[in-house]
C-alpha cells in the first residue's frame, strides 16, 4: 500500500467522483483509476461501488476511510516536523481548547509564545472537550486543552491534568448581590433562573450536575450561548451564571461571588495522542503553557 494510493482514495471518497478527484490531486483520471484498482487488488476488496455511474463507498471503503485520513494527517505532521528549522523560525501548531480556556488562559500564553517564536503559525480550534478529543484522535490537532473527566475514555490519548480551577457565580455589577454573605452555596441557586450554556458545553454539564447533587433541578432564564454570549447576557442583567474564575476576572462589569467550601472546581488537562509525539513547535507551546499555569 502506497501513500499516494491513500491520497487518491481519500480524494475519491470525499468527492464521490473520479474526474473531480483526479482534478483535486492533479493527476490524469485514468492514472487515478488505475491506482485505486491496484489498491483494491492489494486489499482484496472493492472500495467503491460503481453502479450506473454512481460512486459510493463499500463497507471496506468505509472501514478504510478514517484510517486513511489518520495516516495522511500523520504523514503531514511528520513532514512538517522534518521541515522545521532548528531555531523554530517557522512551523505550525494546531491547538484545541474549550471556549472558556480560549477566553481566560490562552491570550497571555499565545502572546508570550508568539513573542518568542514569531514565525510559528498558530491554528486554534475552539470546541467542547468531546469534539476536541475526536479531533486529536483523527490527527487534526497536535494538542488540546480539555476538561476532565471525559464522558468516554480514549486509550489512544494521554491527558495530563494541569490545574484545578475554581468556578464562581457571576452577576451584573449593578444588580443586587446573589446572596446575603460573601460566599454562595449551590443550594442558593435553587430559585434563581440561570444563564446557561448550550447543550454539550462542559460548564453546562458541571453546573447541572452540581445542582442535582444539591437536590434540585436548575431553572434557566436563557440558554444556548457560548462563553462570550453568556457573559454578555449576565452583564445585561438576565441572570447569574457559573463560570471559571479566570474568565470572570477579565470582565469588570461582572460581580464575582465564590462558592462556599468545599467550593466548585473543574480540572483542566493537556491532551495529545499517545502514538505520536507532538512536533517540536507544539512541544515548545506546551512548555510555555506550563509556565503560565498557576502553581
The DSSP code sequence of 214-243 is: TT----EEEEEE-HHHHHHHHHTTS--EEE
Q: Cis (ω within 30 of 0) for the bond into 201? A: no
Average pLDDT over the chain, rounded to an integer: 90
pTM higher than the cut 0.75: no
pLDDT band at 74 (very low <50, low <70, confident <90, very high): confident
- CB count, 10 Å around CB of 193? 15
Model confidence at 86: pLDDT above 60 = no
pLDDT band at 154 (very low <50, low <70, confident <90, very high): low
Please state, in angstroms and rounded to a whole number, the distance separating the CA atoms of residues 113 and 122: 10
Model confidence at 87: pLDDT above 80 = no
Please state, in angstroms and rounded to a whole number, the distance separating the CA atoms of residues 270 and 290: 10
Please state, in angstroms and rounded to a whole number, the distance separating the CA atoms of residues 170 and 239: 9
pLDDT at position 119 is 87
Model confidence at 295: pLDDT above 70 = no
pLDDT band at 276 (very low <50, low <70, confident <90, very high): confident
Model confidence at 139: pLDDT above 70 = yes
C-alpha cell at 153: 475514555
Model confidence at 125: pLDDT above 70 = yes
Please state, in angstroms and rounded to a whole number, the distance separating the CA atoms of residues 143 and 64: 25
Model confidence at 28: pLDDT above 80 = yes
C-alpha cell at 147: 476538561
User: For the CA atoms of 45, 46, 47, 51, what is the dihedral angle to 10 degrees?
Assistant: -160
Please state, in angstroms and rounded to a whole number, the distance separating the CA atoms of residues 281 and 119: 10
Please state, in angstroms and rounded to a whole number, the distance separating the CA atoms of residues 235 and 171: 7
Model confidence at 79: pLDDT above 80 = no
Amino acid at each position: 500500500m502506497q501513500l499516494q494510493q491513500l491520497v487518491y482514495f481519500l480524494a475519491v471518497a470525499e468527492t464521490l467522483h473520479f474526474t473531480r478527484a483526479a482534478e483535486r490531486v492533479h493527476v490524469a483520471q485514468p492514472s487515478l483509476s488505475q491506482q485505486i484498482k491496484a489498491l483494491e487488488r492489494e486489499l482484496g476488496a472493492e472500495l467503491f461501488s460503481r453502479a450506473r455511474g454512481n460512486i459510493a463507498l463499500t463497507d471496506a471503503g468505509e472501514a478504510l476511510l478514517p484510517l486513511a485520513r489518520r495516516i495522511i494527517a500523520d504523514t503531514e505532521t511528520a513532514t512538517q516536523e522534518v521541515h522545521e528549522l532548528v531555531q523554530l523560525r517557522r512551523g505550525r501548531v494546531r491547538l484545541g481548547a474549550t471556549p472558556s480556556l480560549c477566553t481566560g488562559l490562552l491570550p497571555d500564553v499565545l502572546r508570550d509564545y508568539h513573542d518568542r517564536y514569531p514565525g510559528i503559525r498558530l491554528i486554534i480550534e475552539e470546541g467542547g472537550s468531546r469534539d476536541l478529543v475526536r479531533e486529536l484522535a483523527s490527527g487534526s490537532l497536535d494538542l488540546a486543552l480539555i476538561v476532565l473527566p471525559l464522558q468516554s475514555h480514549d486509550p489512544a490519548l494521554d491527558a495530563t491534568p494541569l490545574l484545578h480551577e475554581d468556578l464562581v457565580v457571576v452577576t451584573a455589577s449593578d444588580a443586587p448581590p446573589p446572596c446575603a454573605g460573601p460566599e454562595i452555596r449551590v443550594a442558593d441557586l435553587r430559585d434563581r433562573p440561570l444563564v446557561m450554556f448550550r447543550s454539550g458545553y462542559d460548564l453546562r454539564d458541571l453546573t447541572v450536575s452540581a445542582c442535582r447533587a444539591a437536590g434540585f433541578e436548575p431553572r434557566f432564564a436563557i440558554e444556548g450561548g457560548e462563553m462570550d454570549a453568556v457573559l454578555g447576557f449576565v452583564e445585561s442583567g438576565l441572570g447569574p451564571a457559573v463560570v471559571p474564575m479566570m474568565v470572570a476576572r477579565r470582565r469588570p462589569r461582572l460581580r464575582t461571588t465564590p462558592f462556599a467550601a468545599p467550593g466548585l472546581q473543574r480540572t483542566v488537562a493537556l491532551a495529545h495522542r499517545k502514538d505520536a509525539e507532538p512536533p517540536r513547535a507544539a512541544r515548545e507551546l506546551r512548555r510555555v503553557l506550563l509556565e503560565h499555569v498557576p502553581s
